[in-house]
Amino acid sequence: MANWQGVEGGVTAPKGFRASGIAAGLKPSGAPDLALIVSDTEAIAAGVYTLSHVRAACVDYCQQRLESKPYAQAIVINAGQANACTGPQGWQDAVSTCEAVATTLNIPTESVLVASTGVIGQRIPMEALATGIPKAVAALSTTGSDDAAKAIITTDLVTKSIALEMDWQGRPIRIGGIAKGSGMIHPNMATMLAFVTCDATVSPSLWQSMLSRAIAHSFNQITVDGDTSTNDCVLALANGESRTPAITDAGPEADRLEAMLTAVCDHLAKAIARDGEGATCLLEVTVAGAVDDEAARQIAKEIAGSSLLKCAIYGHDPNWGRIAMAAGKAGIPFDQGDLRIELGPFLLMEHGQPLAFDRPAASDYLKQATQGDYLKTDTVNIQVCVGHGSGSGIAWGCDFSYDYVRINAEYTT
């Protein structure tokens, strides 16, 4: 059983963190579009970044910065412009953004990280940004997480936020997080954009390895449309303000902190998948019986990402053949004679053979889940077993509706 509990506050729940979100005029809509997350003291910083070969300037900037010095005190995020495929001037815009934040906060430029989201090929409107940064700094608050979460979204329908707390030798430790993402979601390292704060004291190398493993089980296991963003990035700060004993080596204490970090990432990842563009439900695929966990996760993500299956779910069609097809093309060998498939409470296939099942009832299961009514949940559960191995894994996705095509057909028009 988890030894933590949920608390309010998102990224400002951990001690020593403030955040803000304002409308700086970066979005034509006038919606909030500039967010700032600041630690009162310099924090251990870790990051995981997209493996796409077409990357935004902010991604390269953060990766280079943290490889040379794994510390940071502030993260600035603009929404509306991805600043990807913008050439040398886009790089300079990222640098100038960090310089402006550093000057306003009176901290070193190398203590500032930057993230961007929006339309690829569009630079940040630097004049508006320069005017907005002092306003974002002035708005910093220990209750500003919700404002920051609102300021980083693009096509998202809802904000994504969480904070957890657990007792650590008589003192509380907290981890908080916010994220954005709705389309172009098929992470190949991390996620769309996510930001995590923690008030524990942890060594830089351990914090980085914890984050990387947490992402492998969470953000890397979600898919909306199979497209990996140019801007995918997860940044995590740990500032030690809880004043709890330092965690410097692997072991039970590190495992406890990593488990809570993973829980935060799991929550944010599922929230992104549920808020997929045009989605009506969350799809959760569990795979067992694989040779190892990595193989199981690969099969699960292939199933969750199948466009044909996603369409079938939206159409309330319990077409289990699409599940079997997706499992088979994941690139993981298994004996199809061992294949077992369940859709919610319905067993559809066992020992590689189709079974008779109540098709209208299975269709109703999908219909009620996509309408958010089935057993008070909006989650479609698919369970697959591919053999007798010990490997297991989970992936999350969503259905494809007509609205997904509409949203993306009109994205820049």
Cβ–Cβ under 8 Å, residues 187 and 59:
no
CA–CA separation, 319 and 321 (whole Å) = 5
Pairing of strands 233-238, 193-198: parallel
> Is the CA virtual torsion 143, 145, 151, 156 positive or negative?
negative
Q: How far is CA 132 from the centre of its chain?
A: 26
Task: Report how far apart, in Å, the C-alpha atoms of 317 and of each of 308, 343, 360 are.
Answer: 11, 11, 9
Burial class for 150, CB neighbours closer than 10 Å (0-12, 13-18, 19+): buried
Pairwise CA distance, residues 132 & 115, whole Å: 16
The count of other CB atoms within 10 Å of the CB of residue 61 is: 21
Residue 112's nearest CA partner among 123, 125, 99, 124 is: 99
Residues in the chain: 413
Is 131 designated active site? no
H-only helix segments in 106-203: 126-138, 145-151
Sheet holding 340-343, edge to edge: 353-354, 346-350, 340-343, 379-385, 282-290, 391-398
Structure tokens at 286: 């569990």
Is the distance from CB of 146 to CB of 159 less than 8 angstroms? yes
Residue 387 CA, distance from chain mean position: 30
Q: Residues 50, 154, 191, 262: which is the catalytic one?
A: 191
Backbone angles phi, psi at 219, to 5 degrees: -60, -35
The C-alpha atoms of residue 118 and residue 152 are separated, in whole angstroms, by 9
* Sequence letter at residue 408: N
Tell me how far apart the alpha carbons of residues 134 and 94 are, in angstroms, rounded to a whole number.
17
Structure tokens at 144: 């500003």
Helix (H/G/I), strand (E/B), else coil: 144:
coil
- Catalytic positions are 191
